[in-house]
Amino acid sequence: MYRRSPVLLSRLVSCSVSLLVCFNVALAQRAHNSVPESTPDAIYQELTGIDKNQHRAIRRSEGTKRVLKSVDELKTKYDMTPRSHDCPVYFGQANIQTQFSESGKFRKASLDGVAAMLKTGKIHPDDVPIHFLWLNGKRVTVNNRSLTALYKAGMRPTKLIDQTGKLPAQGSESLEAVLRRLEAMAGKPSTEMLVRTAGVGNDGQPRQANDWDAPIGDIVSMPEDVLQHARSCDRTAGK
């Protein structure tokens, strides 16, 4: 009877092990390539369609300039068709100051102050209603400071009001104002808000938080659970 030599058997075993290792490496590589990156920057680009740092730079530069496009041009550019999904609400402004406006429910209140009241239960998320529009398949807020306060408190909106087709013709919450704000951030709604603060501007001059050239003192992002919901929802909403 023919017997394989120990050397031959050793070589066969060695070849089998090598093939198995190569096969496992190939499977691992294939699995790695099929899973989207999970870094914060990768998620931001996946959700917004633009690199995070590039978007921040645009919002700090173009966001300070007046948008010259006509209202009709802007209306044509953005799809305002309502959708049926409940994906999280995105920010629709290049940056904001640290305080609420001189009118409204939180007149001149600070973002930190409203966020603190939310955290302690002094006010409920229902007390901070979020108005939004459908823009290119996403829910984009009209009242950015209110959404910032909620996200800063680690909460998501519980009272959402769809204002698509219902906004006034003029004012800070008009359709024109909302579209111009979005255009000033490259037309890309964001998962984070840049907050201006008092300090020295890029020109070396002292600036107040209500000055468009004031430095960015804070960045408020969607809470992690909301961000993950946005990611999973964005993939299945058919946008």
Q: State the sign of the Cα–Cα–Cα–Cα dihedral 8, 9, 13, 14.
A: negative
pLDDT of 107 above 70: yes
Mean pLDDT computed over every residue of the chain:
87
What is the model's pLDDT at position 194? 98
What is the model's pLDDT at position 64? 85
Spatial separation of the C-alpha atoms in residues 237 and 46, rounded to whole Å = 14
Q: State the sign of the Cα–Cα–Cα–Cα dihedral 123, 124, 126, 130.
A: positive
Average pLDDT over residues 5-11: 52
Written as six digits, the tokens of 234 are: 């964005």
What is the model's pLDDT at position 27? 45
Side chain identity, residue 185: M
What is the model's pLDDT at position 197? 94
Average pLDDT over residues 140-168: 97
Instruction: Determine whether 216 is exposed, middle or buried from the number of CB atoms within 10 Å of its CB (0-12, 13-18, 19+).
Output: middle
pLDDT of 146 above 60: yes
What is the model's pLDDT at position 1? 47
Q: pTM (2 decimals)?
A: 0.83
Rounded to 5°, the CA angle 204-64-101 comes to: 100
Q: What is the pLDDT of residues 72-102, one digit of tens each?
A: 999 999 999 999 999 999 999 999 999 999 8
Banded pLDDT at 15 (limits 50, 70, 90): very low
Cα distances (angstroms) measured from residue 224 to each of 86, 153, 163, 227, 231:
17, 12, 26, 5, 11
The answer for residues whose C-beta is within 8 angstroms of residue 215's C-beta and 6 or more apart is 196, 197, 199, 200, 201, 202, 207
